Structure formats: structure tokens, C-alpha cells
Amino acid sequence: MKRIKTDLCIIGGGSGGLSLAAGAVQMGADVVLVEGHKMGGDCLNYGCVPSKALLAAGAKAQAMRGDAFGVAGVEPKVDYAAAKDHVRATIATIEPHDSVERFEGLGVKVIQAYGTFISETELEAGDTVITARRFVISTGSTPFVPPIPGLDTVPFETNETLFDLREAPEHLIIIGGGPIGLEMAQAHVRLGSKVTVIEAAKALGRDDSELAAVVLDKLRAEGVEIIEGQGAQSVSGAPGDITVELADGRNVQGSNLLVAVGRKPALEKLNLKAAGVETTRAGVKVGADLRSSNKRIYAIGDAAGGMQFTHVAGYHAGVVIRSILMGLPGKAREDHIPRTTYTDPEIAQIGLTEAEARATYGDKLTVARFDYAGNDRAIATGKTAGLIKVMVVKGKPVGAGIAGAQAGELIAPWAMAIANGLKMTAVANMVAPYPTLQELNKRAAGAYFSPKLFENPWVKRVVRTVQKLIP
């Protein structure tokens, strides 16, 4: 058994671990990266990248349908296997950036094996025992498979297997109406599959209900059947013929089943008890500094039990690098973290939703709104479905939600504003090029100030006085 000592040992080569490794080694630290599966983690191989690539294929097919702008629509000829080839090519294009070779070239020692703690200061990976001044757990998460009776007897997909399918499902049943379930529902219905989504509560239940309705209405209009308030009670059948029984006794029959009800932290292989690391059902128990009960060990990204997004893992990497390498205090926060569901239209949110803001601030809250239908670029491109809502308290945004075309891009100014404590004037003073969807943000900010300017009698009196006094 080989033994090595290092400044920093990172467990997990996903987005957070790779960001941390690249930053730390280039700042002069001795870094060991332990990865037992695929470099790039879930995001590159099973999540963000392949899902967006398949959504792009679906969008291409959908763009050919229907008459619009004087162009006659046609029914596209979809080659599902070729669409999956596009997914694989997209992953392959990005892979070198996350590869073992690149990180070894940067100076990181990469050990391709699963890591297991054997003490509070030692990690065993393959034939190597690593002693480090600091460890960072960045193992991500895996699909949660609920204990539905019969699920263990029928074939089903998760996001880790779905992208390996080469034949289009005739009828895809999806259990779970969250972002993953609905993104894959729209991609598949656009590529020619019949799709039924089963959600025990409300589809897109974490999002503002008014904004969610914009997305759900569009999906239903495209042919996605969305059943809400009905959990899956049991599953039965065989390959190509699967039945899901609902709580009300109805049966949904389809050819394929996708389980997309959430994710759980991937901590099983680590033997955290030996390391003296406390955990909860959500993940490693950490403080605001992302340090665990063992002061030598940190956790970032999905493993830390908070928001499960790739950009959160990257943000966490920046927080801990201050502490580990520079000895500076660093604390993670969540109020400035945006999230986006990449359906068409998209839905994006940062900070508090309207319901959350009303519960927190009551009558101190002002909600500024603006509809896509009032934006000239949206009108010109036929993308008028949607709206933006900004929750404002004492002149500062405490949340923003957008449902509509490019919502994930449009949320960025609000992310900057909330992260830096800026006031609404920062966005109102922005000059957006015309015609762009970015004007929606400026118009929403203007909607906040309009009543103060145009409905205030004192403003009118001042203006009238100035007009009389100044020749």
C-alpha cells in the first residue's frame, strides 16, 4: 500500500471538485483528486450537458412544426438514435476540459479509484492511503429511487441511464414533475413520443405558481399529459408494457418508465463514521463555512445537503478555497443563487418567490411586473408568453422570477443585484440594446418606479412649478 501526503485531497471529480482542484493547484497547493467513476461528474455525463443537448434536438424538431412567419410547417423526420449521437458528441466535446490528462497537466495528482476514510486524517483509494491537511467531499448526488411497490420488478430509467436509450419510447411515463421530469417530458414529446407525467403534489411545485402555469400550459398544449396530486401507488409489467397505478385507482400504461423524483447525496462509499463526520438525510452536516464536524473535512455541492445545482458546487469551491488556501473566513449563502428549468418557455427564480416574500415582509413588499407581450423583441419573434416578477423591499430586490423565452439568461442582472445588495435603480439605470429581451428587466424596474413618479401628486406640483419659474 502506497502512502502520500498532500495539502488538499478532493474526493469527487464533478464540477465543484474540478473547480477547486484547478484553482488550488494553480495557487500553489499540493492537490490530490480522487475520482472512482467519470471525470466531470453527473453534470457532464448524465445531467446538465446531455439534457440540454437532447432539449436542443427537440427544439429543432418543434421549430419545423406549425405555420409561422409566412413559413409553412412540416412534420420533421426524427432519428432518435441520431439525436442521442448529438448528445454523445456534445459530451465528447466538453470531456477534454474535465479530463484526467488536463488536470494532471495542471499539476494535480489524480487517483482513479473510490475513496474510503480509514481514520479522521486518512483516505484509502485503490492501493494508496492519502494523508491530507484538508479534505473536501465533492461526491455529488445520485437519483433517488422511491420505494414504490413493484418498481424493483420492472425496467425503469433514471437520468443516469436515459441517455443510453437508442430507440424512442413509444409512450414514456415519467414519475416526478420537477425540472428533470418536465425537461425530459418536453424533449421526448417533441421527438415523437407520447408522454405522461405523474406528480404526487404539484408540478414545478418549488416555483411561483403563476410562473409555473406559463410552462405547464405550454407543455400540455404540446401534448404532454401532466397528472398532478396523484402519487404512483404501484408499478407492474414487463419491458415495453409498463403499468403505473395511481392513488385514485386509475392505471397509466406505457412502454418506458423514467423515475425523476429527486436526488440523494452520494456518500455511501466514504465510511464517514470513521472520519468523525456527521451527516443528515440531506448530506454532510456543515456550517456556513462548509466545514463538517471534523475540522479537517469540508463538503461542497450536492454532498453538502443544500441546493443541488452545478453552479452551487462551483460557488462552494470558491468559498472553501479562501479558507483552505488563504486562511480567510468564507461563508456560503443561498439567497443569491439562481435556478432555471430549461423547458420552452424557461422558468428562472432567484431569492424569494412572491408567496415567500409576502409571508416574510407582508405589506412592506412591492411586486413589480412586466409581461413579455409588451416587449418588442418578443412580439417580433412570437415569444410573447410569459412575464417577469420582481419582489422589492425598501428599494432592493429580494427575489425575482421569470417565465418565458431565455428566462435563464434574463435572471442574471437580478442575480448580480441581489448578490451585491444593489437597489432597483441599478437595473432601471441600465441601458439595454433595442430590441432585446433584456429590456424586460429594465421595464420591470421601471414598473416599480412608475407609481412613484406618475401617480405622486407632489411630483406633478413640482413639475408645474418648475415650468412656471424657468423661462
Q: Which residues are annotated as a binding site?
A: 52, 115, 139-141, 176-183, 199, 262, 302
Sign of CA dihedral 404, 350, 415, 445: positive
CA distances from 127 to 20, 115, 116, 136 (A): 24, 10, 12, 20
Task: Give CA separation, 108 vs 79, 86, 416, in Å.
Answer: 41, 31, 32
Binding residues for NAD(+): 176-183, 199, 262
The answer to whether residues 21 and 10 touch, using CB atoms and an 8 Å cutoff, is: yes
Cβ distance 354 to 208 under 8 Å? yes
Cite the annotated binding site for FAD by residue number: 52, 115, 139-141, 302
Find, among 290, 287, 278, the residue nearest to 320 by Cα. 290
Whether 160 contacts 142, CB under 8 Å: yes
Strand partners, 195: 172
Beta strand pairing status for 297-299 and 225-228?
unpaired
> Alpha carbon of 445 to those of 109, 243, 387, 390, 406: distances in Å?
49, 49, 13, 8, 18
Residues in Cβ contact with 187 at an 8 Å cutoff, skipping those fewer than 6 apart: 51, 54, 55, 57, 58
